[in-house]
Amino acid sequence: MAAVRGLALVPVKDGLWRVTGRSGAVLGHIERKLDDRGESFAARRLLPATRTLDLGTFWQLADAADCFR
């Protein structure tokens, strides 16, 4: 498990992390993407009623995690 400024990134499977807050509440997920431009990280926030909201795609894992703070 990795910590990023008050958040925990819990590996779910290779290339997918669950983002949790200090209380342990699940805030969303970060997924690693690979394409011809290289590696990037897509962040999705969990919303009520099991919906998600795409927060964006970032070149660094830490940048993707920052949008959950």
Model pLDDT for residues 11-36, shown as the tens digit of each residue: 999 999 999 998 999 999 999 999 99
Q: How confident is the model at residue 1 (pLDDT cuts 50, 70, 90)?
A: low
User: What are the start-end ranges of the E strands in the chain?
Assistant: 2-4, 7-13, 16-20, 26-35, 38-47, 51-58
pTM, full prediction = 0.87
